[in-house]
Amino acid sequence: MLPKTIACAMSSTLTKWWYTSLLIIISLAASGQVVQSARFEIPFSKNDVRFEVIPAHQYGLFLLRRLGGFPDDQLEIAKLDTAFQQAWHGYLAVNKRYIMVGKRSEGERLYLLFRYIDFSKNDFELVTIEQATGNFIRYPIRNFIPFTPSEFQLTQNGALIGGYYNRVPVVIYFSFTTQKARILPGLLNEAGELTQIKTYPNGSFDVLISARGIKGMKTIWIKSYDADADLLSNYALDTEDNKHLIFARSLKTNNNMQVVAGVFGTRNSEYARGLFIATIDPAGLQRLRYYYFSDLENFFKYMKAKREQRVKARIERKRIKGKKIRFNYRFMVHELVPYNNQYILLGEAFYPKYTSIDNRGYSGFFSSGFTQGSYIRDGRIFDGYYYTHAVVMGFDHNGNIQWDNSFEINDVKTFTLEQFVKLETQDDKIALLYLFENELRSKIIKDNEVLEGKSSEPIKTPIKNEVIKREDTDIAKLDYWYKDYFYAFGVQEVVNPTAGKRRVFFINKVSYE
C-alpha cells in the first residue's frame, strides 16, 4: 500500500486563512517558578470548529479539526515543531459516516482510528501519517465484533484496539506486517473492566482486566503478550478476603519485576477503601500491600483545617481501641512511574453529582438529544464529576509505602473522567500542576513535606497590559509534551488597551523550574 501526501492544493480561501492568521512566538517572562516560554495564537470566531491538540513529543504538536465538505468531510491537520513553527498543513478526506475514536502520536507517526457511525458496519479504518512529510497510509481493519473502542495503543508491530462486547472486555490486534486483525487470545471469557493496555519498548504488552477470580473475589488479571501478540502468561493477583481489586496500573522494571498499583474496595462497590501495590518477580512470586485511606498521613489535607482535625481525631480514637474507620471514595489511579529508586503513584478522588428535575425537565432534557442511562438516575440529571484532590504516594521496591502527599483540586467539573493534575519529577522535588479557568495552579512537594503551598499563575500573552477575560475563556487543558515541558491550550478572548478585543485559539509552552 503506497503512501499518499495530505492534500495541500486547498481552496484559496482556506489556504489564505491559515497562512495569514496571527502567529505569536515570543518568550514570556517567568513569574514565580512557572515559566511560560512561548505562545501560539490564531484568530478564532465563535462559529469556528475547535482544534484538537495531539503531542508528538520531541517532534512537536499536531493540530486537527473536522470540517464539512462534499462528498467527504475534510480533516484539517497542521504539524508544528517545538518552537511552534509550522512544518506542513493540509486536509485529509474522511467518509461522512466515519467518526474518529482514537488518536495517538507514536514515534515518527500520527495514528488516527475511525469507525462507522453506527454498528451497521463493524470495520475500522486506521490512518498513519508521517510527522515529517505528511505522507499517509489508510489501513482498512476487518472486525466482526460490534464494540466501541475505549483503548487505543500502538506497538512496534501493530495497533491494539480495546473495548467491550456485552460487558465482556475485548482487544483486537492489527498487524502492520500482515495487515490482518485478530482477537487477542485469553480474552472473551467473562464480564469485567478493561483497566489498562500497557505497551513496552520491545513491542510486548500487557492487558489488565478487573474481573472475578477463582474464589469469586474481584481481582486484577494480568495477561502478557509478546511483540507478535501471542499470549505469554495469564494470571490473577492473589487478593485477601474482603479486599476486591477495582482498578490498577502497571509497569515493569529493568530487572523484569512487575509492579501493579490500584484501588481496592468491598464486593460489588464502586467505591474504594484504599490503595494497593503488588510486586511480582520473574518467577511469579507475588507480594501485595494494602493501605486504607485512613492510614495515609496527608490524604485528608484537602479539607479545611478544622474538618481535617476532626477526621484525624476520629481515626486516632478508633486506633486506640484497635479498630479502623473505613472511608469510601471514588478514586482513579492515573500514573505509576519510577522515581529516585522508588515508585510514584498519582491518583485523583472525585464524586458524581446529580440535580433534581421535574416532569417538565425530563421533556426538555430528552429533546436536546440525551438518552436515559447514566445521565438520569432516580429522577435526577447527571451534573458531572467533581474532583476533590489528587494523591501522590512513594513506594519502595517491595511495595512498602515511604510517604504520601496531596493536592487540593478546586471547582473542577467534567462530564468524562480524565486526569487533571500532572506531575513533574525533579531530583529534589515534585511539582504538581493543573489548569482551571485560565490559571495554572501548582504545588511543590518533597516526600511528606510541602516546599511551596498552592499558588496560581494566569495564562499569559506576550503583550504587556493585555487582559484575558476569564468568563470568555473556553475549556482549556494542560497536558504533557516532551522532556520537562507541558502545553496549555484552549480558546480565549483577549482585550488589548489600544487594539481592542480578539478571540484566539492559543497554545502556551509551560515548564516548572
The larger pLDDT score, comparing residue 144 to residue 172, is at 172
Q: What is the mean pLDDT of residues 240-254?
A: 91
pLDDT at res. 370: 36
Q: For residues 312 and 458, state if they share a domain.
A: yes
Q: For residues 320 and 457, state if they share a domain.
A: yes
Q: Whole-angstrom Cα distance, residue 418 to residue 137?
A: 30
Indicate whether 428 belongs to any domain: yes
Q: For residues 243 and 117, state if they share a domain.
A: no
Q: How many CB atoms lie within 10 A of CB 455?
A: 15
Indicate whether 509 belongs to any domain: no
Q: What is the mean pLDDT of residues 23-40?
A: 69
Q: For residues 425 and 311, state if they share a domain.
A: yes
Q: What is the mean pLDDT of residues 82-110?
A: 95
- Residue 179, pLDDT above cutoff 50: yes
Q: For residues 275 and 413, state if they share a domain.
A: yes
- Residue 20, pLDDT above cutoff 60: no
The larger pLDDT score, comparing residue 403 to residue 359, is at 403
Q: Could you give the number of structural domains in the chain?
A: 2
Q: What is the mean pLDDT of residues 96-120?
A: 93
pLDDT at res. 8: 46
Domain that holds residue 123: 1-141
Q: For residues 295 and 403, state if they share a domain.
A: yes
Q: For residues 363 and 480, state if they share a domain.
A: yes
Tell me the percentage of the chain whose pLDDT exceeds 70: 88
Which of these three, 141, 156, 176, is where a domain ends?
141
Indicate whether 191 belongs to any domain: no
Indicate whether 499 belongs to any domain: no
Q: For residues 266 and 124, state if they share a domain.
A: no
- Residue 367, pLDDT above cutoff 50: no
Indicate whether 189 belongs to any domain: no
Distance (Å) of CA 36 to CA 49, 219, 485: 26, 43, 10
Q: What is the mean pLDDT of residues 433-458?
A: 91
- Taking alpha carbons only, the member of 229, 191, 189, 193 closest to residue 208 is 193
Indicate whether 118 belongs to any domain: yes
C-alpha gyration radius of the chain: 24
Which of these three, 141, 172, 191, is where a domain ends?
141
Task: Please tell me what DSSP assigns to residue 294.
Answer: G
Tell me the percentage of the chain whose pLDDT exceeds 90: 64
Indicate whether 162 belongs to any domain: no
185-194, 264-273, 501-510: least confident range: 185-194
pLDDT for 112-156, tens place per residue? 999 998 878 899 999 999 999 999 999 999 998 888 899 999 998
Indicate whether 222 belongs to any domain: no
Q: For residues 399 and 260, state if they share a domain.
A: yes
- Residue 290, pLDDT above cutoff 70: yes
503 in Cβ contact with 43 (< 8 Å) = yes
Average pLDDT, the chain: 87
Instruction: Tell me the pLDDT band of 344, cut-offs 50, 70 and 90.
Output: very high
Which of these three, 141, 174, 206, is where a domain ends?
141
Q: Read off the C-alpha cell for 363.
A: 421533556
- Residue 387, pLDDT above cutoff 90: yes
Q: Which helix (H) or strand (E) holds 18?
A: helix 12-19
Q: For residues 269 and 129, state if they share a domain.
A: no
